[in-house]
């Protein structure tokens, strides 16, 4: 387990790529459940109900995995799905768990404070780094540059927020 956590830390530090993971369906499912758990925890800390957090997490996973598979299928590389998806899910889970701290620094009731500002800054930094990590994984998956991968990650994230927000009625 420690080797797996170390791998995802190194992936998030751009030292490893998705091709360094074994194409193991069991690992894919473990990271999928872990990512869903991290997403639920982030949702709960952000003030979402358990049900809404679960629906949002499942919608985001379906969108991410569906678009990844479609992209790989249409570029002729569907065999890369398990490794790429596992990398995205594992790094997403790690970053999600890290996001709990800055999210918890935001006081309830909208009070402004230095602690809330620090939390917002840390969260913004984490979101930016998440785009770089996703871009890194996309770069290796599709054989494009890091800049192109980050652009894809940003476009995907904006689209996902808009689509899931519309699906959930702006929740």
Alpha helix locations (H) across the chain? Answer: 2-12, 25-45, 50-74, 81-104, 114-142, 146-167
The confidence score (pLDDT) of residue 114 equals: 80
How many alpha carbons fall within 13 Å on the CB side of residue 148?
A: 8
The confidence score (pLDDT) of residue 170 equals: 54
Judged against a pLDDT cut of 70, whether residue 81 lies above it is answered with: yes
Q: Which residues contact 98 (CB under 8 A, 6 or more apart)?
A: 126
- Phi/psi of residue 16, nearest 5 degrees: -130, 165
The confidence score (pLDDT) of residue 165 equals: 81
pLDDT tens track for 100-134: 999 888 765 556 678 878 888 999 999 999 999 99
pLDDT tens track for 14-56: 999 999 999 999 999 999 999 999 999 999 998 888 999 899 9
Judged against a pLDDT cut of 70, whether residue 67 lies above it is answered with: yes
Find tokens 């003030």 and name the residue: 47
Among 55-59, 77-81, 135-139, 161-165, name the one with the lowest average pLDDT.
Answer: 161-165
Cα 126 to Cα 156: distance, rounded to the nearest angstrom: 17
**Average pLDDT, stretch 59-65?**
93
Cα 160 to Cα 163: distance, rounded to the nearest angstrom: 5
Which is nearest to 87 in space by CA: 72, 101, 76?
A: 72
- Percentage of residues in the chain with pLDDT exceeding 70? 95
CB 149 within 8 A of CB 136: yes
Which is nearest to 126 in space by CA: 169, 91, 152, 158?
A: 91
């Amino acid at each position: 387990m420690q080797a797996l956590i170390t791998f995802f830390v190194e992936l998030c530090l751009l030292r490893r790529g998705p091709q360094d993971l074994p194409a193991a369906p069991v690992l894919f499912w473990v990271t999928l459940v872990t990512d869903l758990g991290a997403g639920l925890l982030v949702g709960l800390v952000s003030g979402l109900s358990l049900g809404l957090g679960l629906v949002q997490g499942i919608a985001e996973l379906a969108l991410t995995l569906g678009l990844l598979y479609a992209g790989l299928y249409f570029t002729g590389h569907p065999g890369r799905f398990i490794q790429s998806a596992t990398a995205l899910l594992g790094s997403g889970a790690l970053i999600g768990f890290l996001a709990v701290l800055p999210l918890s620094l935001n006081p309830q009731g909208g009070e402004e404070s230095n602690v809330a500002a620090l939390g917002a800054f840390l969260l913004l930094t984490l979101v930016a780094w998440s785009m770089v990590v996703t871009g890194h994984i996309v770069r290796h998956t599709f054989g494009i540059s890091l800049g192109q991968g980050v652009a894809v990650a940003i476009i995907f994230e904006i689209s996902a927020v808009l689509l899931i927000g519309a699906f959930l009625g702006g929740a």
